A and B are shown apart, each in its own frame.
Chain A
Amino acid sequence: MKTDLTDTNASEVAAALVRARRAVGSPAMGMVLTLVVVTDDAHSYDAMRAAAAISSEHPARVLGVIRRSGRGSAGLDAQVRIGNGSGEAVLLRLRGELTHHAESVVLPLLLPDSPVVVWWPGQAPDDPAADPLGAIAQRRLTDAAAGRSKSRALLAAARSYTAGDTDLAWTRLTPWRALLAAALDQTDAPVTGGSISAERGNPSATLMRAWLEDRLGVDIALKTSTGPGLTDVRLTTPRGDVALVRPDGTSATFILPGEADRPVALHRRSLPELLAEDLRRLDEDDIYAATVRHLAAAESAKARPRPATKKATPKAASPKPQAAKEPSTSKETSA
């Protein structure tokens, strides 16, 4: 059922939620989190639908925050939806000066005690944790691929990284990372280098490169392909290449040195699938943290003029000070 409220406030919305829940027979409230979706009128439909789709795995109260024009008088319109799916959803349309104080509407509507996740399906703030809405969340979910400038968005996220940040560009990599890890389980040769091919400006490819460089302590080249998305990850070993090649966005070829190539399904996952994976854990993603730290360090090293042959590392192509101190480096050479 839907309830529309115009020119309202947070306590009236909260009362409408309780009324609506009673009206559908007080279904069990097994809700585990509040998901705040920060969006605009044009994208709210898709975003709210994706958020509703995850509510059967993660029953949630979904608060859609739509900021309209900042001009004119301040006001709030709301729509409460309850009864389809296992969660509840509220669309909050903010206008006038209120658009700058969205947290004042959201705060009273959070579920008691349970975690808060803020998701920006489109353009995200440069520093999500410093955003007033981001500040009330345990988990801040951005999507670098959806922003106006993909590479800039990722860099901003990397520089401002705070525990609890994650990006859907990282979530998209999980099946790739799982297969690459499985490939190295089956290869007893050290990785000496590698390359990645992807569409121009693909943020997932940038993250993949940072992850591989960080974990393996080797340089990974980034090449441009026609896509879609990530198309090729190749790790060089003395025995030959370990590779995962996906030219068409649906199925890939899994290549191990000395063995027959095998097809493997590797489709591009839908938004609800990505969201569901991200919400499965709400603590800090340590591996993402290490990856974006590596990314930020590599970028600032690139921006700085190279110190004149101060450190003669064997991998002088791009100085990565923290890659050398990673324990993975020693592991890799010993393996």
Chain B
Amino acid sequence: MSLHDNPLRDPQDRRLPRIAGPSSLVLFGVTGDLARKKLIPAVYDLANRGLLPPGFSLVGFARRDWEDQDFAQIVHDAAKQHARTPFREEVWDQLSEGMRFVPGSFDDDDAFERLAETIKTLDAERGTRGNHAFYLSIPPSAFPVVVGQLKEHGLAQAEGDSWRRVIIEKPFGHDLKSAQELNAVVSEVFDRESVFRIDHYLGKETVQNILAFRFANGMFEPVWNSHHIDHVQITMAEDIGIGGRAGYYDGIGAARDVIQNHLLQLMALVAMEEPVSFNAYSLRIEKQKVLAKTRPAEDLDAHTARGQYAEGWAGGEKVIGYHQESDIPATSATETFAAVRLDVQTRRWAGVPFYLRTGKRLGRRVTEVAVVFKRAPHLPFSKTATEELGENALVMRIQPDEGVTLRFGAKVPGTAMEIRDVNMDFAYGGAFVESSPEAYERLILDVLLGEPPLFPQHEEVELAWEILDPVIEHWAASTHPPDAYPSGTWGPKSADDMLARDGRAWRRP
């Protein structure tokens, strides 16, 4: 019986949540940080919210000498420690019956044979009906081996109505060429609808709210163009350094780590035309259109900036610089701060630059999109009256303190006529029972339901690399090292100069 002729379902019945169909999740890299802190808690939270099917099973795969119970214990501890919702024994009982562990390394044929047997047993014992998702929470260098093994042992092959899906995490390559190679490896085994590229930013409620904000309201879209908007600033700032991730970070840098995926996706959502519907296909088409017409500014020296944090005081603590972090070579030219100016060559955005910046050890942790409006063409006030008046701005705060801020001028009370900037704030709801599911919950559920609207496909990934590759190549060819900036500040002076050249300034988020 398909969803459509189930008499208990009705499109009007909006209380009924979509529970995923019978399925299992096979997790590669269960010992990693991401699995323990995000993925496993997200699975637990989904179960607690009643969104996982009875019989849902979780299979771990790692090079550990564990039994099923050992794995269950790890999951138990991770869920108890990091889950968002309260820990309940009955939810745990539901999950724990479906825990399986397969020990082995990625090149071990026997291990994959055992994995194939394990999921076959699950189909019989737990009714997962041949539906299995493989979550590759592993370094990209291991993708070809694992994907090859999945194919080799018949794990990628779905029978009848069942499905096999693969979930991969960023980075999707380190430039256009490597992204294409990676895609070639994966698409040889899985068809495009079965590949889910996770950009956890897109699972965030506030990012999805950008779409609601733009397309559900009548009053913003009419001014959403170059007639009214002066420029757009997209910022993702972190207050922490690279921590122990030297091996991952050095040689990658801020632009590849953040701009290529998160910031360009945010930009696409802000800049795209209205999709004809909110299905995955229409959304993707619009994002691809706008990304295809986005280019970095021509003079890359003048319109990009990069930096490296130096030691300093950040938030009341003395912290070390990038070069003092362990395992970072003294000659490393990896940028920890990157800013680029992008131009979108469409009628809507002609002449409206998009400034994207990201960095580590900046003033505070914040992600936001600030749309800055042009000044009113004529001000009937005296010059002194509007001295304190800035440009109107609409700020979508992605995290933390999710919400929307509208910045506009208001009369200072009591004075004759003096106008000053004020903020009007809308705060997104707090952290009640279900109010703000973690991004991974939404994404894992979407994978199990087979709903891809939030997952970029390889075209988007490749378009993003096409935008960024010239910048990265330019930096690599430069003899200048990245500009140092003291930790705890808002980046190098070159970033400020970059906007000053255009007669603008960065917003302090």
Q: Show the binding face of A for B, using Cβ within 8 Å.
A: 28, 30, 53-54, 56-59, 86, 171, 174-175, 177-182, 184-189, 191, 212, 215-217, 250-251, 254, 256, 259-260, 262-267, 272-273, 276-277, 281, 285-287, 328, 331-332, 334-335
Contact B19 A177 (CB under 8 A): no
In the complex, A250 Cα to B3 Cα: how many Å? 28
Contact B5 A331 (CB under 8 A): yes
Measured between C-beta atoms, what is the minimum distance from B162 to chain A in Å?
12
**Among listed B270-278, B329-337, B426-434, interface-contacting one:** B426-434
In the complex, A178 Cα to B430 Cα: how many Å? 26
In the complex, A264 Cα to B98 Cα: how many Å? 11
Contact partner of A277 among B13, B15, B94, CB < 8 A? B15
In the complex, A127 Cα to B121 Cα: how many Å? 56
Measured between C-beta atoms, what is the minimum distance from A67 to chain B in Å?
29
Within 8 A of A (CB), among B1-18: 1-3, 5-10, 12-17
7 closest Cβ contacts across the A-B interface? Answer: A56-B430, A251-B90, A254-B54, A28-B425, A57-B435, A57-B432, A265-B91
In the complex, A186 Cα to B250 Cα: how many Å? 49
A residues in contact with B19, CB < 8 Å: 178-179, 181-182
Measured between C-beta atoms, what is the minimum distance from B490 to chain A in Å?
25
In the complex, A186 Cα to B53 Cα: how many Å? 11
A residues in contact with B6, CB < 8 Å: 181, 184-185
In the complex, A215 Cα to B93 Cα: how many Å? 32
In the complex, A260 Cα to B12 Cα: how many Å? 32
Contact partner of B430 among A57, A188, A259, CB < 8 A? A57
Interface centre among B3, B6, B47, by most chain A C-beta atoms within 10 angstroms, is B6
In the complex, A30 Cα to B405 Cα: how many Å? 11
B378 at the interface (CB under 8 A from A): no
Instruction: Place the interface of chain B in its size category.
Output: 35 or more
Contact B427 A30 (CB under 8 A): yes
Contact partner of A263 among B21, B48, B54, B431, CB < 8 A? B54
B residues in contact with A189, CB < 8 Å: 1
B126 at the interface (CB under 8 A from A): yes
Can you identify 30 A-B contacts, CB atoms within 8 angstroms? A28-B403, A28-B427, A30-B425, A57-B430, A57-B433, A57-B434, A57-B435, A59-B427, A86-B430, A177-B13, A179-B19, A179-B54, A184-B1, A184-B6, A185-B1, A185-B6, A217-B7, A250-B89, A250-B90, A262-B54, A262-B55, A265-B91, A266-B90, A267-B88, A272-B433, A281-B14, A285-B15, A331-B5, A335-B1, A335-B7
Using known A-B contacts A177-B16, A287-B12, determine if residue A276 contacts B432 with beta carbons closer than 8 Å.
Answer: yes
Contact A28 B90 (CB under 8 A): no
B41 at the interface (CB under 8 A from A): no
A residues in contact with B14, CB < 8 Å: 281
Within 8 A of A (CB), among B71-112: 88-91, 93-94, 97
B125 at the interface (CB under 8 A from A): yes
In the complex, A222 Cα to B188 Cα: how many Å? 55
Measured between C-beta atoms, what is the minimum distance from B433 to chain A in Å?
5
In the complex, A174 Cα to B434 Cα: how many Å? 15
Contact B432 A56 (CB under 8 A): yes
Contact A265 B88 (CB under 8 A): yes
